[in-house]
Chains A and B, each alone.
Chain A
């Protein structure tokens, strides 16, 4: 996973930022594929993590097709296109909400994660999830779609509040309150458990 530090380093070292690439892509054949090559790998992993292997290609392809269609409306004042792309992806992921929640629920109840199985090696796949992961899945299953979106953009895409706000087109204050609520519910699901027990579980993986 790419941390925020690496991300900003990447932007600094490699010349034209996304806004410049998009500006060029409006006329220049080569430029849009630069945007794809820059963001598709991490976006694919993010979608894979939420919906599993079978839907990841479709969602990512459709995200870039939609982005290409909306190139003219991109506000080049925003130099990083990730929030824009993940916002488009969030809409598309939302079309598969039932499947996503069904997988969290199954993981919570049975310890079998069909999403992890979809990308993992068959041999290791059948290892059932830890109690910790089952509790986290339970929390994700019961969150409202809006709260879950904010929580996972922060936890899995390393987005800042501002980036989430831009991705979802909501005020930063709303991001903060949704994240607060989502984290409170997550802690409650983990909870009853003794924090030190959870720590131990986490370190065991």
Chain B
């Protein structure tokens, strides 16, 4: 008698989840949290195999995507002089108001619009994160509130809002020293990653989370971005709220850049941080798939995009409340 085989028969009729259940679970499992390494998530219609609805460039629908590789029309986007634009953004940022210092029991509110893969329209996501990082509440579209207790784990890739604020208070505000710091800080290191890619990634994480950056540091980040080889700046990049701004992307052509290129060395997708041209405020992110690409079993056609917009933030006393 094989006891393992007999045990294998116990509850052997347990099913795998349905596609619908899995879809709902995927959304839940990929909630944005303050993660050091995680980029915005582009969810393609993987499980269902449903064709991805694509919008090319700036709000122009592309009818019937051809199967042949074809670069996406990115109309309205104008390449800019990165140094000039980023220096100007730095000067505006440095004149900003001081950031608030929340109490441990207060909640940092963050509202995003997210349009992902095949979403027909942007979906609102609201996050209330307790400043000490021990709890988070979440609401998606018109859905109910979800609450999550977070147990702090040493060595996590995740930072609490309080830890972010503490890190921001300590970071050098001299651009060269700041750049040096983020390139070499062991907590941000990932194997095989070029230091330029790391610096851009770390700044992206700093900018795309709910704890506001002190004005001097924001200025230093813009100045440091201008020093990273391969950083490009485009005007006319649209966020999920329909606002256009300055798009900043890293496309360094070095080993370990993380920038994916096709056989002809063409960049296959472009990932922007978007800023308001006048106020230099962070608006959101945009990832455009420029060329057809296969990732694992998933075909990601050119024109697939992830777009988000930060449309509200602030500090409140209870989850569910809105600043204001």
Contacts and interface: CB of A to CB of B under 8 A. Distances in A.
Interface of A: 1, 14-16, 21, 23-34, 36-38, 40-42, 44-45, 48-49, 56-57, 60-61, 63-65, 68-73, 76, 113, 115-116, 119-120, 132-133, 136-137, 151-152, 154-156, 183, 186-187, 190, 195, 198-199, 202, 205
A7 B64 CA distance: 36
Interface in B1-28: 1, 3-17, 21-22, 24-26, 28
B1 A68 contact: no
Contacts of A199: 1
A27 B260 CA distance: 10
A86 to B, nearest CB: 15
Q: With a 10 A CB-CB cut-off, give which of A27, A76, A120, A132 has the most chain B CB atoms.
A: A27
17 contacts: A26-B193, A27-B37, A27-B197, A28-B39, A28-B295, A30-B300, A34-B46, A45-B15, A49-B11, A68-B33, A115-B11, A116-B13, A120-B13, A132-B6, A133-B9, A136-B7, A151-B7
Given A34-B46, A36-B30, A72-B157, A137 B17 contact: no
Given A32-B30, A33-B44, A33-B46, A186 B300 contact: no
Given A40-B22, A61-B28, A65-B33, A49 B3 contact: no
Interface of B is mostly: loop
Nearest to A16: B296
A31 B39 CA distance: 10
Contact of A41 (B12, B16, B28): B16
B231 to A, nearest CB: 15
B42 A186 contact: no
B10 A133 contact: yes
A136 B295 contact: no
Interface of B: 1, 3-17, 21-22, 24-26, 28-31, 33, 35-44, 46-47, 153, 155-158, 190-193, 197, 201, 258, 260, 271, 287, 294-298, 300, 306
Nearest to A199: B1
Contacts of B44: 30, 33
Given A27-B201, A30-B44, A68-B35, A190 B22 contact: no
A153 B306 CA distance: 37
A85 to B, nearest CB: 11
B41 A33 contact: yes
B197 A1 contact: no
Nearest to B29: A64
Contacts of B306: 29
Nearest to B34: A69
A29 B15 contact: no
